[in-house]
A and B are shown apart, each in its own frame.
Chain A
């Protein structure tokens, strides 16, 4: 065991600081909601400090060159019988990457929020929740065993719930928050069952122990390991919004936009990808589950991309784009390219946070404009935008950068990460042809990605402005506190690709090398990825061609001049209508699951079984029966003492006769 570097020991501070921030801001929100300066200092300060700590930890880990994960145990959490469960953090190459992404992007979004939420009456409450989220997210990525990770896992779900319903006075927002929590809970039940299965078969829940014992205890491709990984993946579909549990994420856009950027794009929703990468040895041992992961991922990538084509709400477009990109990540980790999945997670954190925050700037500008003229129009509808690049050049330029990274145009970061996923899927197709299908799904999805992103950008920033005559003069660029974080994210979106360049390029595979200690566990069970340089170049060329063609097609086909503001728009018809209504999946879930369940609970279980059968017939029926006997008996009581005495004497005489024999 090598010496643990002092800097790594500091990791508890990274989690503790945001927790302190939550406690302080929570108290402020209850007692001094107007103390904005203090709230800002605490809220942003703690997360920025946490980022600084994370950098130290990362440097410490890199400096030590440790190959084994560093496990720091704080206290014994749930010891019961042979269950040994410590509250412990695990610092390794993977958790450090997540640590940096969470605190880094988190800190930027905190800064952005100063501007975006500046006038909200719930400012303190907002920062309290955001700090709490960072805390739980860090617990999620740092936990050294499944239950501690689960604390973070459900904790971020809680924060997501609170922040989606942040403006809770609107019933739709409160509903969206509840929906997110419950759908996550469905996934979490899978996570729980996976933990039970692991504990039942291995007797431990510590990551290091589980991953050490799994290869010797489980049979590759066996039922048990397949069940475990499928149950874990059920958890992932909830948290990371994959088919069939994805519908909460678009609704989650009801929350403030920075929340969408932080929680519903950059960090929380990628937790599922992190989980699969973390448990890579388990998934590598379960080829069927891995194929399911890849298949669901590819399907989601395409499915969500098609919905994104016809959404009018700027945030909904990005939300479906997020679902789609998460699908790519799952495709990556499903085919066994864990590094590619994490790589895409990192680049996506940059460009999707950028997209959301830029969208936040646009919404902010429109909101201010409508506020100034006292008109109630939808500040998020693309049909109310247009030509905004003239009013907000910085935002327009930055959102284009984010968009191009999202499309996967070289040399933006998204190009490299998405390509490495698709290349890996293609490579796996050699052994199992089904992966060619997944690759094809992903590639078609990439075409749609180029289309919907370009559509979004054109409708927002180009063509004539449709905001309104009076409003136009109120449209202006967001303040520096909001554009500043975007610039940094923009730099990330452009350059993050160098983290893991393709093999055919020089200085390739840095992230791959860095994550090797983590991914080597599962690599044993995976076939070698092998692509000839020619194929690899071919795939790169194809990806580039798709991106360019998609952008060009959208540019040619879409006519922003022909759009009318949202209020005057006519409803779509045919397939467009189906897409605009998201294939009616929400309606189907509602009709097939939610309504029948409530009807069953109310009419059958409560009114019939409980009130009528158990209480009415059995319990009160017994009481009525007793009362009936009582009534019959009471008829003998005439109330005439004389009758009683006669009966008494007669009774005595009979008794005397009997006793006399």
Chain B
């Protein structure tokens, strides 16, 4: 496999994810962007695992498991917020204000 292109794709995906998180307002979309970032990292793990040994692949499984758990919790939180506020626009959510 080609290491360079793989890492490039990964970087692009990751940047897209960051940009999405920064620019979008819809919590669901932000959430999907976070997933995108995770998968970008997964991709680079896989790519590097070819050279550095199988630990990277193990980590990917770990990340996927965490991502699944996180998706469950995160979606639940978003759902709870939606029920509470009737919106998932993060501009309107400032529960954390000091």
Contacts and interface: CB of A to CB of B under 8 A. Distances in A.
Do chains A and B make direct contact within the complex (CB under 8 angstroms)? yes
Nearest to A637: B98
Interface in B84-98: 90-91, 93-98
Contacts of A640: 90-91, 94
Contacts of B93: 639, 641
Interface string B33-56: 000000000000000000000000
Interface in B10-48: 18, 21-22, 25
Contacts of A635: 98
A639 B94 contact: yes
A639 B98 CA distance: 7
Contacts of B97: 637-639
A593 interface: no
- Chain B facing A: main interface SS: loop
A71 to B, nearest CB: 79
A641 B33 CA distance: 14
B94 A642 contact: no
A635 B98 CA distance: 6
Interface string B64-98: 00000000000000000000000000110111111
Contact of A639 (B21, B22, B95): B95
A639 B96 contact: yes
Interface residues of B, number: 12
A649 interface: yes
Nearest to B95: A639
Interface in A629-661: 633-642, 645-646, 649
A637 B25 CA distance: 18
A296 to B, nearest CB: 73
Contacts of A638: 94, 97
Given A634-B98, A635-B98, A637-B96, A642 B18 contact: no
Contacts of A636: 98
Contacts of B21: 645
B98 A649 contact: no
A80 to B, nearest CB: 60
A646 B22 contact: yes
B22 A645 contact: yes
B44 to A, nearest CB: 15
Contacts of A637: 96-98
A633 to B, nearest CB: 7
Query: Which of B18, B94, B96, B98 has the most CB atoms of chain A within a 10 A radius of its CB?
Result: B98
A646 B21 CA distance: 9
B22 A642 contact: yes
Nearest to B92: A640
B24 to A, nearest CB: 9
Interface string A594-636: 0000000000000000000000000000000000000001111
B98 A641 contact: no
Interface string A557-576: 00000000000000000000
A634 B98 CA distance: 5
A641 B22 contact: no
B19 to A, nearest CB: 10
A649 B20 CA distance: 12
A633 B94 CA distance: 17
Contacts of B94: 638-640
Contacts of B25: 642
Contact of B98 (A633, A642, A645, A646): A633
Contacts of A642: 22, 25, 90-91
A645 B30 CA distance: 11
Nearest to B90: A641
12 contacts: A635-B98, A636-B98, A637-B98, A639-B94, A639-B95, A640-B90, A640-B94, A641-B93, A642-B25, A642-B90, A645-B21, A645-B22
Interface of B: 18, 21-22, 25, 90-91, 93-98
Given A636-B98, A637-B98, A641-B93, 15 more contacts: A634-B98, A637-B96, A637-B97, A638-B94, A638-B97, A639-B94, A639-B97, A639-B98, A640-B90, A641-B96, A642-B25, A642-B91, A645-B21, A646-B22, A649-B18
